[in-house]
Amino acid sequence: MSTDNKMMESPQTQPAEEKSRYRVTPRYGMWHENGKWVLQISLPGVSKEQIQMKTLEDFFQLRATRDDILYSLDLDFNFKVEKDKTHAEYKEGLLKIEFTKYDPLQHAFEVKIE
Protein backbone atom coordinates (compact mmCIF):
# COMPACT_ATOMS: atom_id res chain seq x y z
CA MET A 1 0.00 0.00 0.00
CA SER A 2 1.70 3.20 -1.12
CA THR A 3 0.41 6.44 0.37
CA ASP A 4 2.02 9.82 0.66
CA ASN A 5 2.78 10.45 4.34
CA LYS A 6 2.22 14.19 3.99
CA MET A 7 -1.37 13.55 2.97
CA MET A 8 -1.89 11.42 6.07
CA GLU A 9 -0.62 14.06 8.51
CA SER A 10 -3.15 16.09 10.44
CA PRO A 11 -2.62 19.87 10.72
CA GLN A 12 -1.38 19.39 14.30
CA THR A 13 1.49 17.10 13.21
CA GLN A 14 2.69 19.09 10.21
CA PRO A 15 5.98 20.94 10.64
CA ALA A 16 5.64 24.59 11.69
CA GLU A 17 7.20 25.78 8.42
CA GLU A 18 4.40 24.16 6.40
CA LYS A 19 1.60 25.54 8.61
CA SER A 20 2.90 29.12 8.73
CA ARG A 21 1.60 31.62 6.24
CA TYR A 22 4.24 34.27 6.89
CA ARG A 23 7.99 33.80 7.38
CA VAL A 24 9.61 36.67 9.28
CA THR A 25 13.16 37.48 10.38
CA PRO A 26 12.86 38.69 13.98
CA ARG A 27 14.56 41.86 15.20
CA TYR A 28 17.78 41.03 17.00
CA GLY A 29 20.98 42.54 18.32
CA MET A 30 24.33 41.06 19.27
CA TRP A 31 27.07 42.56 21.40
CA HIS A 32 30.10 41.67 23.54
CA GLU A 33 29.67 42.12 27.30
CA ASN A 34 31.71 40.88 30.29
CA GLY A 35 33.72 38.42 28.21
CA LYS A 36 30.62 36.87 26.58
CA TRP A 37 28.68 37.42 23.38
CA VAL A 38 25.03 38.28 23.97
CA LEU A 39 22.33 37.70 21.37
CA GLN A 40 18.92 39.24 22.07
CA ILE A 41 15.94 38.36 19.86
CA SER A 42 12.48 39.93 19.92
CA LEU A 43 9.69 37.33 19.65
CA PRO A 44 6.47 39.15 20.59
CA GLY A 45 3.54 36.92 21.49
CA VAL A 46 5.53 33.67 21.18
CA SER A 47 5.29 31.15 24.02
CA LYS A 48 8.47 29.52 25.32
CA GLU A 49 7.25 26.12 24.10
CA GLN A 50 7.06 27.38 20.50
CA ILE A 51 10.78 28.28 20.33
CA GLN A 52 13.28 25.86 18.82
CA MET A 53 17.00 26.65 18.83
CA LYS A 54 20.03 24.74 17.57
CA THR A 55 23.66 25.73 17.78
CA LEU A 56 26.82 24.35 16.27
CA GLU A 57 30.29 25.56 17.20
CA ASP A 58 29.92 28.50 14.82
CA PHE A 59 26.30 28.56 13.65
CA PHE A 60 22.96 29.44 15.29
CA GLN A 61 19.44 28.59 14.11
CA LEU A 62 16.10 29.68 15.59
CA ARG A 63 12.54 28.81 14.60
CA ALA A 64 9.54 30.10 16.56
CA THR A 65 5.86 30.14 15.71
CA ARG A 66 2.91 32.30 16.66
CA ASP A 67 -0.46 31.95 14.97
CA ASP A 68 0.39 31.77 11.25
CA ILE A 69 3.81 33.46 11.61
CA LEU A 70 7.13 31.62 11.52
CA TYR A 71 10.05 33.57 12.97
CA SER A 72 13.23 32.30 11.33
CA LEU A 73 16.81 33.34 12.10
CA ASP A 74 20.08 31.75 10.93
CA LEU A 75 23.36 33.31 12.03
CA ASP A 76 26.85 32.27 10.96
CA PHE A 77 29.32 33.29 13.66
CA ASN A 78 32.90 33.87 12.62
CA PHE A 79 34.07 32.36 15.91
CA LYS A 80 33.52 29.12 17.81
CA VAL A 81 31.42 28.98 20.99
CA GLU A 82 31.68 26.79 24.09
CA LYS A 83 28.69 24.44 24.07
CA ASP A 84 28.71 23.93 27.84
CA LYS A 85 28.88 27.65 28.56
CA THR A 86 25.84 28.72 26.54
CA HIS A 87 22.84 30.03 28.47
CA ALA A 88 19.39 31.21 27.32
CA GLU A 89 16.44 32.84 29.05
CA TYR A 90 13.09 34.03 27.72
CA LYS A 91 11.11 36.77 29.39
CA GLU A 92 8.29 39.02 28.14
CA GLY A 93 8.91 38.35 24.44
CA LEU A 94 12.71 38.78 24.60
CA LEU A 95 15.03 35.83 24.17
CA LYS A 96 18.51 36.45 25.56
CA ILE A 97 21.31 33.99 24.79
CA GLU A 98 24.83 34.26 26.17
CA PHE A 99 27.67 32.55 24.31
CA THR A 100 31.21 32.13 25.58
CA LYS A 101 33.75 32.31 22.79
CA TYR A 102 35.93 29.21 22.51
CA ASP A 103 39.42 29.91 23.80
CA PRO A 104 41.82 27.23 22.55
CA LEU A 105 44.37 28.08 25.23
CA GLN A 106 41.92 27.06 27.96
CA HIS A 107 42.09 23.55 26.52
CA ALA A 108 45.84 23.54 25.95
CA PHE A 109 48.33 21.48 27.88
CA GLU A 110 51.78 22.45 29.00
CA VAL A 111 54.82 20.82 27.48
CA LYS A 112 57.54 20.02 29.99
CA ILE A 113 61.12 20.76 29.06
CA GLU A 114 63.52 17.92 29.78
What tens digit of pLDDT does each residue of 11-29 get? 444 555 667 889 999 999 9
Going from N- to C-terminal start, the domains of the chain cover 14-107
Which amino acid is located at 73 in the chain?
Answer: L
43 CB-near residues (< 8 Å, 6+ apart): 26, 51, 64, 66, 71, 90, 93, 94, 95
CATH of 14-107 given 2.60.40.10, 1.10.3720.10, 2.60.40.790, 2.40.50.100: 2.60.40.790
Give per-residue pLDDT as tens, 31-68: 999 889 999 999 999 999 999 999 999 999 999 999 99
SS3 50: helix
pLDDT at 6 > cutoff 90: no
pTM score: 0.76
